[in-house]
Amino acid sequence: MAEQTLVSAEWLADMVKRGLVGPRLRILDSSWYLPMTKRDAKKEFAQSHIPGASFFDIDECSDRTSAFDHTLPSEQFFAEYVGGLGIGNDSHVVVYDASDLGAFSCTRVWWMFRLFGHTEVSVLNGGFRSWVREGHPVTGTLTRPEPAHFTATINRAWVKSFEDITDNITTQGFQVVDVRSYARFWGTEPEPKEGIQPGHIPGSICMPFFRFLDDKGMMLSTDELKEFFKQSQVDLSKPLCGSCGSGVTACHMVLAAHLCGAPGASVYDGSWYEWFTKAPPEHIISEIKRS
């Protein structure tokens, strides 16, 4: 199957109806929410999900030794984790989440698969919100797929470290795109994580992730996405790096750039939470004083 970056609810519902969910087509609910939302992604999945879907936990599939949330796991850990979900190297993977926005955490999992060398991965356009709105079936029945063998090979050029971002302030080798809200970027609205104050990395550009979506939770058209990049003064012909709070919604920018014909944008995995923790005061740009 040729690579499909986005698939529609209608297309996926047809696959489900035809009984094609299996080793060659795996569906992953990759819902994850900020603690402030009081939503329990696993509990919601157990109650209602797309038939045949498995749950992908970005906190579980991470480097548990890291001081930061859902840091990328090793190649071996990722391979074993997704293999346990019945995903092999010949599986087409469709990811979605149940965010009211239409997409929140699923783009992180889309990016992770590509990062670890698996290009046969798609995002369900509009997410579970679109699936339900269109009247497709849901279930609370859990399916346990047969484990599969998966080989992962990481593309390290797609991940930026604290040191990489620090060096880039001087070298300006890539554009840092921060997808948090404008208020968090400028430092006028609090961060959702305790102990972290708002602000931004010197030289970074703000493109709030939710603006890549329309009011129905669908990705904007390619022309609309290109216009958003242009208005934000982000050059799609030059290297890009996404950042956010903890490396999740940054992947919306990576997906948007990919749809615009600019694949290979990187992600600052530690994002703002690591930056605020480690950076010197002069590298915390904010309209409010740091306390």
Q: What is the pLDDT along the chain (291 residues), one digit of tens a residue?
A: 346 999 999 999 999 999 999 999 999 999 999 888 899 999 999 999 999 999 999 999 999 899 888 999 999 999 999 999 999 999 999 999 999 999 999 999 999 999 999 999 999 999 999 999 999 999 999 999 999 999 999 999 999 999 999 999 999 999 999 999 999 999 999 999 989 999 999 999 999 999 999 999 999 999 999 999 999 999 999 999 999 999 999 999 999 999 999 999 999 999 999 999 999 999 999 987 544
Cα(163)–Cα(278) distance, rounded to whole angstroms?
10
Cα(182)–Cα(64) distance, rounded to whole angstroms?
31
Under DSSP, the state recorded for 255 is H
Q: How many CB atoms lie within 10 A of CB 218?
A: 18
Domain count, the chain: 2
Same domain, 37 and 107: yes
- Point out the domain boundary residue: 99, 118, 133: 133
Q: Is 106 a catalytic residue?
A: no
What predicted TM-score, i.e. pTM, was given to this entire model? 0.96
Structure tokens that stand for 130 in this block: 């679109």
Give the active site residue among 206, 244, 251, 260. Answer: 244
Domain annotation covers residue 229: yes
Range of the domain at 46: 6-133
In contact, 152 and 75? CB cutoff 8 Å: yes
Structure tokens that stand for 128 in this block: 């579970």
Cα(287)–Cα(270) distance, rounded to whole angstroms?
22
Burial degree of 237 (CB within 10 A; 0-12, 13-18, 19+): exposed
Domain annotation covers residue 72: yes
Same domain, 100 and 19: yes
Same domain, 107 and 164: no
User: In sequence order, which residues have a C-beta less than 8 Å from that of residue 48 and are 6 or more positions away?
Assistant: 138, 139, 140
Same domain, 126 and 189: no
Same domain, 22 and 105: yes
Measure CA of the first residue to CA of the last residue in the chain; give whole Å.
54
